[in-house]
């Protein structure tokens, strides 16, 4: 199988396989490369300094596995009703932003003039690329915004925090450990800003009370008197936060 670099920019590269493309995401936090397939999109998360030649070889070595997984993905039900076309609205911190899809070399999404702009080689044939790129955009922004909120609210709660991670959770908005490590579902940044604040405060208060006791909720209310409003928003509308 021949594997060629198709296009690249500072954040993302695309490697062309035999009948499919592989989106390469570089991360300074990765020590090893990992392949994953989501919604028909093949992604390889690689250490920032890993040579492209090594990545190409990894893709070639996993060719059969990739083909099998893509076949299963083709039979799977789509996770979202979005069509990933220009004009669709995507929420971020309570405000809707219209998607603008451009044709060209693959470029990571950017928020420009009130629109989320994404560029892919063939938009009509590659909605799974657009979806994956949007998810990456949300994750990067979630990492930045949630860390800012943790720094602000930990002083109000009066706790010290450990590592802050942004993760994929199926049924949770966040979690914490007795060591002060906090994990948050990246999807939460699609919710209104104050709802995101509530989730951050909720997890920080768990560093004081590791249950949902009366003392825990009193602490949440001390920091955020209107928390019940935001908790109810999540119960009623949180299931609709999906890319």
pLDDT at position 1, please? 46
CATH code, domain with 159: 3.30.2010.10
pLDDT at position 223, please? 97
Residues 149 and 221 in one domain: yes
Distance separating alpha carbons of residues 55 and 30, to the nearest angstrom: 14
pLDDT at position 78, please? 47
pLDDT at position 25, please? 84
Above 50 in pLDDT, residue 150?
A: yes
What are the CB-based long-range contacts (under 8 Å, 24+) for 104-111? 105/7, 105/9, 106/6, 106/7, 106/8, 106/9, 106/12, 106/13, 106/14, 106/23, 106/133, 107/9, 107/12, 108/9, 108/10, 108/11, 108/12, 108/133, 108/136, 108/137, 109/133, 109/134, 109/136, 109/137
Residues 193 and 124 in one domain: no
| Total count of domains within the chain | 3
Nearest to 11 by CA among 43, 37, 36: 43
In a domain? residue 196 = yes
Average pLDDT over residues 190-207: 96
pLDDT (tens digit, 9 = 90+) per residue, 34-85? 988 876 678 888 898 899 889 989 888 999 888 888 777 665 544 567 889 9
Distance separating alpha carbons of residues 87 and 97, to the nearest angstrom: 9
**In sequence order, which residues have a C-beta less than 8 Å from that of residue 216 and are 6 or more positions away?**
205, 206, 208, 209
Range of the domain at 17: 4-75
In a domain? residue 84 = no
Q: Which residue has the higher pLDDT, 124 or 135?
A: 135
Q: Which residue has the higher pLDDT, 23 or 194?
A: 194
Q: Which residue has the higher pLDDT, 179 or 1?
A: 179
Above 50 in pLDDT, residue 117?
A: yes
Distance separating alpha carbons of residues 221 and 216, to the nearest angstrom: 9
pLDDT at position 80, please? 62
In three-state secondary structure terms, 94 is coil
In a domain? residue 83 = no
Domain endpoint, select from 75, 103, 118: 75
**Cα dihedral 159→163→165→171 (10° resolution):** -50
In a domain? residue 36 = yes
In a domain? residue 81 = no
Distance separating alpha carbons of residues 106 and 238, to the nearest angstrom: 31
**In sequence order, which residues have a C-beta less than 8 Å from that of residue 24 and are 6 or more positions away?**
12, 13, 14, 15, 43, 44, 46, 55
Q: What does pLDDT average to over the chain?
A: 86
Residues 125 and 160 in one domain: no
Least confident of 126-130, 171-175, 191-195, 196-200: 126-130
Above 50 in pLDDT, residue 3?
A: no
CA distances from 20 to 14, 168, 200 (A): 10, 25, 39
Residues 210 and 227 in one domain: yes
Distance separating alpha carbons of residues 175 and 172, to the nearest angstrom: 8
pLDDT at position 74, please? 60
User: Would you place residue 128 in the very low, low, confident or very high pLDDT band (cuts 50, 70, 90)?
Assistant: confident
pLDDT at position 7, please? 41
């Amino acid at each position: 199988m021949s594997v060629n670099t198709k296009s690249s920019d500072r954040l993302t590269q695309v490697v062309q396989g035999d009948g499919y493309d592989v989106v390469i995401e570089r991360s300074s936090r990765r020590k090893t490369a990992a392949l994953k397939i989501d919604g028909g999109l093949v992604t390889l998360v690689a250490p920032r300094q890993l040579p492209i030649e090594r990545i190409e070889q990894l893709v070639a070595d996993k060719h059969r596995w990739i083909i099998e997984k893509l076949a299963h993905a083709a039979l799977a039900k789509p996770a979202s009703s979005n069509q990933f076309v220009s004009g669709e609205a995507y929420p971020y911190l309570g405000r809707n932003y219209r998607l603008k899809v451009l044709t060209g070399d693959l470029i990571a999404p950017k928020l420009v003039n009130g629109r989320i702009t994404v560029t892919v080689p063939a938009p009509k044939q590659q909605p799974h690329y657009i979806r994956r790129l949007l998810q990456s955009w949300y994750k990067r922004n979630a990492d930045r915004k949630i860390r800012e909120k943790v720094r602000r609210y930990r002083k109000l709660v009066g706790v010290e925090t450990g590592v802050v991670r942004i993760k994929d959770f199926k049924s949770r908005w966040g979690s914490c450990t007795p060591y002060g490590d906090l994990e948050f579902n990246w999807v939460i940044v699609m919710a209104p800003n104050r709802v995101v604040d509530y989730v951050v405060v909720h997890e920080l208060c768990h560093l004081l009370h590791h249950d949902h006791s009366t003392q825990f909720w009193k602490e949440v209310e001390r920091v955020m008197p209107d928390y019940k409003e935001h908790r109810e928003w999540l119960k009623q509308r949180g299931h609709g936060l999906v890319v």
